[in-house]
Copies of this chain bind each other. A is one copy, B any other.
């Protein structure tokens, strides 16, 4: 689109939006040029910050009339490029839609605008003994709208499920400006149930403007165990044993030796034993008696798997202390290497030890350090690749290592993403996981919501344009590598 058209659109938007809600100054647009991970940066040509559903509807109606595409953005903490403007699109930022619209404790629901921060939901009902279960690491900054777009997970999802298990209803503004409602206030709704396909659709189907969430009662008691192991296999075995025994932890996380040392270095205290190959954190919640007995059981099972030491925390302060290192894991890696790439893949829980061993081999092959911290309970890996941003060659090697890790996940029957989404970052791998017919059906469903592909264009689905560069680069790199792995067949 030429500059003149953007000027016309801006004028049109300013007719009904207050002055503060339209941003077009170059230096102010820079705020929106990146997300939490993606290497490439690009400022949007124009940004709007609507405050109501009606404003969102009018904005999208304007875009629709003019054939202009748009990208929705919450807090911008995404990790796969979903909220970045690639083509010339209007950026619709929901961070001023921060009202809690309704709280219905008798039916355990809360209805919020999309810009409401994840942790605010729990904060709004914690005095009444309720909470909202999905807890991505970024929960103090990420928005519910973004969580819906990415179908976010978190530590507690091993027991309580991901975002899609907690969203009852969504008001959606379609790309043509029409407003529809998916689901309602109830767990059960009528056919066709479009909630599931909207949740995790990364802004390609429309913009959620009101979201009804399920609230859970806060557990009476929480306990945390921290076990350290001399091998990753032993830690994996403990995860297997705990699960097989029918204990359902509310969190089950593993950190590897690299991560343990990074965390200790960050705090300047040896929170975790430096020589351990892995530490396993197990959180248990529920009624007091249940937690006590599950905690005893988990202790014995960790010991039976060869844990050297198992520390148990029973009060809030002690629990927070055991979690502290895990919660600071990304920051600890950031201190060692300001640039790092977080991969997000899933493997069946039973394949964890061998996949981690293979990642370790890949790290040596690529000569790039990899730190591991992951949701062991649901097999959701988060390898962090550390690198220095000094050349395109290095960045490409990082991407290739990251791609090889996903290949490993798929070989084990896993997935190329657990909770970070596909966005622009992984669209070229989607064909590794889905057949042409699978992808074709997804695209047709997308077209049902967005026939002109104006909502977050180019995201999720591989296109010759977006993935051609990837294929070309692979040929160039492979010709340099000892082991040639042609990826051309995937296009």
Q: Which of B246, B288, B380, B415 contacts A190 (CB 8 A)?
A: B415
User: What is the minimal beta-carbon distance from A69 to any residue of chain B, in angstroms?
Assistant: 18
Tell me the smallest distance from the CB of A179 to a CB of chain B, in Å.
7
Q: Contact at B422–A191, with CB atoms within 8 Å?
A: yes
> At the interface, yes or no: A27 with Cβ under 8 Å from chain B?
no
- Chain A interfacial residues counted at CB < 8 A: 85
Report chain B residues within 8 Å CB of A67: none
With a cutoff of 8 Å between Cβ atoms, the chain B residues found around residue A448 in the complex are 441, 444-445, 447-448
Residues of B within 8 A of A108 (CB): 243
User: Within 8 Å CB of A59, what residues of B?
Assistant: none
Query: Given contacts A192-B442, A194-B442, A445-B192, are A413 and B460 in contact (CB under 8 A)?
Result: no
Cβ A188 vs Cβ B418 within 8 A: yes
Q: How many copies of this chain does the complex contain?
A: 2
Of all chain B residues, the one with the shortest Cβ separation from A344 is: B188
Q: Is the CB of A348 within 8 A of B200?
A: no
Whether the pair B437, A174 counts as a contact (CB closer than 8 A) is yes
- A460 contact set on B, CB distance < 8 A: 191-192
Q: How far is the CB of A171 from chain B (nearest CB, A)?
A: 10
Say if the beta carbon of A151 comes within 8 Å of chain B. Answer: yes
B441 near A194: Cβ-Cβ < 8 Å: yes
Interface residue? A196 (CB, 8 A) = yes
Chain B proximity of A345: nearest CB distance (Å): 10
Please measure, in the bound complex, the distance between the C-alpha atom of A182 and the C-alpha atom of B438, giving whole angstroms.
7
Residues of B within 8 A of A419 (CB): 188
- CB atoms of A191 and B200 under 8 A apart: yes
Contact call B186/A415, Cβ cutoff below 8 A: yes
A286 to B129, CA, bound (A): 22
**Does A430 contact B348, Cβ atoms closer than 8 Å?**
no
A178 to B270, CA, bound (A): 57
Flag whether A449 is at the interface (Cβ < 8 A): yes
Q: Of all chain B residues, which has the CB nearest A183?
A: B415
Q: Which residues of B contact A413 (CB under 8 A)?
A: 184-186
Assuming the contacts A180-B438, A441-B180, asked whether A161 and B187 have C-beta atoms less than 8 A apart, the reply is yes
Residues facing B in A439-460 (CB within 8 A) are 441-442, 444-449, 460
Are A161 and B165 neighbours in the complex by a CB distance under 8 Å? yes
Chain B hits for A435, CB < 8 A: 180-181
Complex contact B188–A346 (CB within 8 A): yes
Give chain A's interface residues, CB within 8 Å of chain B: 104-108, 129, 151, 153, 157, 161-162, 164-165, 174, 178-182, 184-197, 199-202, 204, 217-218, 220, 240, 243-244, 246, 248, 286-290, 292-294, 346, 348-350, 378-380, 413-419, 421-422, 430, 433-435, 437-438, 441-442, 444-449, 460
5 other contacts beyond A107-B379, A190-B430, A444-B448, with CB at 8 A cut-off? Answer: A108-B243, A161-B165, A186-B415, A191-B422, A445-B449
Q: List 23 A-B contacts (CB under 8 A).
A: A129-B246, A162-B188, A165-B165, A181-B435, A186-B348, A188-B380, A188-B417, A188-B419, A190-B416, A190-B422, A190-B433, A191-B200, A191-B201, A191-B442, A195-B196, A217-B248, A287-B290, A287-B294, A290-B293, A444-B447, A444-B449, A445-B448, A447-B448
